[in-house]
Amino acid sequence: VADSQKLREFGLKVTSPRMYILEILEKAGKQQLHMSAEDVYQRLLQLSEDVGLATVYRVLTQFEAAGLVNKLNFEGGRSVFELNQGLHHDHLVCVKCGKIIEFVDELIEERQKSIAAREKFTMTDHSLNIYGVCHTCLPAPQAESTSPQAV
Ligand SMILES: [Zn+2]
Ligand SMILES: [Zn+2]
């Protein structure tokens, strides 16, 4: 019921594919998961919902146009979607497993504003993606070779 209200709020007609996809994105958002169209499609299959991949793409595009979701485009052509919660945040992106960690840093935010102001530049938006390797993808640390051997 809350979902159908939300769809109407964003000027979208209530259809069952839209309801399912919105619910999936809401659940993912609670765990800070960012889903690709393919991820959403796989989730629908698990739920035995008969929604094709083309429909998933179409609905996500409609959601994005309506401002209900944000599409994040990462290096390498990967795109993920997250519900637009109105709270700005930036992302750390693991290039090995694709894990995405959200963060907000007031100092970074302030610095960006002051750089824009210094250039008399009106900032309308920004995105900061930091690429690297997450701790679970790092190779296991090597045993200390410099430590003295116990005799
Ligand atoms: Zn990783
Ligand atoms: Zn995010």
Q: Which ligand is nearest to the CA of 33?
A: 2
Q: Which ligand is nearest to the CA of 32?
A: 2
Which whole number is the average pLDDT over 119-132?
93
Which whole number is the average pLDDT over 116-134?
94
Q: Do the Cβ atoms of 34 and 74 come closer than 8 Å?
A: no
- pLDDT number for residue 87: 84
Note the pLDDT tens digit of each residue in 57-103.
999 999 999 999 999 999 888 899 999 887 889 999 999 998 999 99
Separation of CA 96 and ligand 2 centre (Å)? 18
Q: Which ligand is nearest to the CA of 101?
A: 2
What's the mean pLDDT when you consider all of the chain? Answer: 90
Q: DSSP letter at 68?
A: S
Helical (H) or strand (E) element with 24: helix 16-30
d(CA 123, CA 112): 9
- pLDDT number for residue 85: 83
- pLDDT number for residue 146: 57
- pLDDT number for residue 125: 86
Q: How confident is the model at residue 31 (pLDDT cuts 50, 70, 90)?
A: confident
Which whole number is the average pLDDT over 38-55?
94
d(CA 52, CA 24): 15
Separation of CA 64 and ligand 2 centre (Å)? 14
Helical (H) or strand (E) element with 37: helix 37-46
- pLDDT number for residue 148: 58
- pLDDT number for residue 102: 93
Q: Higher confidence at residue 51 or residue 86?
A: 51
Question: CA angle, 76 as apex, 32 and 139 as ends, to 5°?
Answer: 70
- pLDDT number for residue 118: 97
